[in-house]
């Protein structure tokens, strides 16, 4: 796992703008008491069910291969090494904010970063995703999993501190993978279409399964607390592959562990967003896990999603990322429909239904931001939040 070391890549000064160059100092510890006053930031207002000045918008995977400036600074630097290089992570995080004028930055990192930091032997393979050297399939494998020492993710905390100093009035979203999605990578050994080994383990050996998810919930909680202490303004818990489960299995094998993570952050003072793909049938159960905002993919319209989650929770979504290739007339009609249907929710954060694809034309994303910002926010109505 040599490429996860916090060593800086050569040529750093050429790749990173002055904004993220900390002059070689690794001790730029902005106290959290100096946290910016973002009480009016549209993303945070919408997340809490208030009335924002405009509909906030950001894009999952907004930092990535769709941007030429990303491809330039990442050239020759392996993904995990980039995640453990604070100046580079900072620079890449800022790129979509500068280019698109989105309402939030999302920390450039990956869901497997805390596992790699703790010492799990894995890599992120371009075009494939995370690959784990020794998949976790037995009680002994689970018992051997390392815990996370916050010092192991200090480069991530440092990236957050650099960003908080550069972002002005734009909130920074921190994130982690939820226990189920992390478990899927660990058990399958890599990306999986059907999650068959994962489902086999949960059903054939529930005790080992729950021990695994309990361990991952603790590690995730630790990682998110580090990000909060360093200054992130909101958190997203990615349970990307939870939609592979029936509601009954989700409730029995996953929900208690995701709830433990989210309830452990209830006093963190930042809004919590919970997202998965293909989770239309799980939206009510995911809401019970305790987030302030539930992410929705493109399969369920937001007015129907609002009915499924019930009052008192905001929604995030849900433009189909594939439709960004369909021409502006299609995109414009979809954006207008989604903003209109989002009025049914107790707060709406515009986003895609999943991540930006690498071949996406970034100019279309910039135009989406401009259009969302020009559309009316939900009319004032009775809010049920306290």
Ligand X SMILES: Cc1c2[nH]c(c1CCC(=O)O)Cc1[nH]c(c(CCC(=O)O)c1C)Cc1[nH]c(c(CCC(=O)O)c1C)Cc1[nH]c(c(C)c1CCC(=O)O)C2
Task: Indicate which residues carry an active-site annotation.
Answer: 61, 65, 74, 110, 185
Residue 61 assigned to a binding site: yes
Would you count residue 106 as binding ligand X (CB under 6 A)? yes
**Is the preceding peptide bond at 318 cis, omega within 30 degrees of 0?**
yes
Choices 30-38, 62-70, 152-160, 366-374 (CB under 6 A): range interacting with ligand X: 62-70
Q: Pick from 240, 279, 316, 351: which binds ligand X (CB under 6 A)?
A: 240
Would you count residue 65 as binding ligand X (CB under 6 A)? yes
Would you count residue 295 as binding ligand X (CB under 6 A)? no
Asked if residue 353 lies in contact with residue 60, where contact means CB atoms within 8 angstroms, the answer is no
User: Closest residue (Cβ) to ligand X?
Assistant: 240
Q: Is 373 helix (H, G, I), strand (E, B) or coil?
A: helix
Q: Pick from 64, 86, 155, 174: which binds ligand X (CB under 6 A)?
A: 64
CB of 273 to ligand X, least distance (A): 11
Contacts 24+ apart (CB under 8 A), 325-331: 325/359, 325/360, 328/364, 328/367, 331/364, 331/367, 331/368
Would you count residue 79 as binding ligand X (CB under 6 A)? yes
Would you count residue 164 as binding ligand X (CB under 6 A)? no
Q: Work out the burial of residue 43: count CB atoms within 10 Å of its CB; fewer than 13 is exposed, 13-18 middle, 19 or more buried.
A: buried
Q: At what angle do helices 206-230 and 154-166 cross, to 10 degrees?
A: 40
Would you count residue 130 as binding ligand X (CB under 6 A)? yes
> In the chain, what are the helix, strand and coil shares in percent, each to the nearest 5?
50, 10, 40
Sequence length of the chain is 386
Residue 65 assigned to a binding site: yes
Would you count residue 62 as binding ligand X (CB under 6 A)? yes
Q: Pick from 84, 180, 209, 238: which binds ligand X (CB under 6 A)?
A: 238
Residue 240 assigned to a binding site: yes
d(CA 176, CA 278): 19
Asked if residue 66 lies in contact with residue 359, where contact means CB atoms within 8 angstroms, the answer is yes
Question: Please, how many CA atoms are within 13 Å of residue 309, restricted to the half-sphere of its CB?
Answer: 33
Residue 329 assigned to a binding site: no
Would you count residue 111 as binding ligand X (CB under 6 A)? yes
Interface contacts to ligand X, rule CB under 6 A = 60-65, 74, 79, 106, 108, 110-111, 124, 126-130, 175, 191, 238, 240, 355
Annotated binding site for substrate: 61-65, 110, 185, 240, 354
Annotated binding site: 61-65, 110, 185, 240, 354
């Amino acid at each position: 796992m040599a490429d996860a070391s916090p060593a800086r890549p050569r040529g750093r000064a050429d790749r990173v703008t002055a904004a993220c160059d900390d002059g070689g100092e690794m001790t730029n510890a902005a106290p959290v008491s100096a946290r910016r006053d973002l009480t009016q930031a549209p993303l945070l207002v919408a997340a809490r069910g208030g009335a924002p000045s405009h509909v906030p918008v950001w894009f999952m995977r907004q930092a990535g291969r769709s941007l030429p400036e990303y491809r330039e600074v990442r050239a020759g630097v392996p993904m995990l090494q980039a995640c453990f290089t604070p100046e580079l992570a900072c620079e890449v995080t800022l790129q979509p904010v500068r280019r698109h004028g989105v309402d939030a930055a999302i920390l450039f990192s990956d869901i497997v970063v805390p596992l790699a930091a703790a010492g799990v032997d894995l890599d992120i393979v371009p075009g494939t995703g995370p690959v784990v050297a020794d998949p976790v399939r037995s009680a002994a494998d689970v018992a051997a999993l390392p815990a996370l020492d916050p010092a192991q993710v200090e480069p991530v905390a440092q990236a957050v501190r650099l960003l908080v100093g550069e972002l002005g009035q734009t909130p920074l979203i921190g994130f982690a993978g939820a226990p189920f999605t992390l478990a899927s990578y660990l058990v399958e050994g890599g990306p999986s279409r059907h999650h068959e080994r994962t489902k086999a383990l949960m059903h054939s050996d529930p005790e080992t399964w729950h021990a695994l998810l309990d361990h991952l919930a603790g590690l995730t909680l630790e990682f998110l607390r580090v990000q909060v202490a360093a200054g992130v303004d909101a958190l997203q818990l990615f349970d990307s592959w939870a939609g592979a489960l029936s509601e009954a299995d989700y409730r029995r094998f996953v929900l208690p562990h995701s709830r433990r993570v989210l309830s452990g952050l209830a006093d963190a003072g930042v809004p919590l967003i919970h997202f998965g793909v293909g989770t239309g049938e799980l939206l009510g159960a995911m809401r019970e896990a305790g987030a302030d905002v539930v992410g929705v993919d493109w399969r369920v319209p937001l007015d129907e999603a609002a009915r499924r989650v019930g009052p008192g929770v905001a929604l995030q979504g849900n433009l189909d990322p594939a439709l960004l290739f369909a021409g502006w007339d299609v995109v414009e009609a979809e954006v207008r429909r989604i903003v209109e249907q989002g009025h049914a929710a107790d707060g709406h954060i515009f986003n895609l239904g999943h991540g930006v694809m690498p071949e996406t034309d970034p100019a279309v994303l910039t135009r989406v931001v401009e259009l969302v910002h020009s559309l009316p926010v939900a009319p004032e109505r009775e809010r049920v939040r306290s």
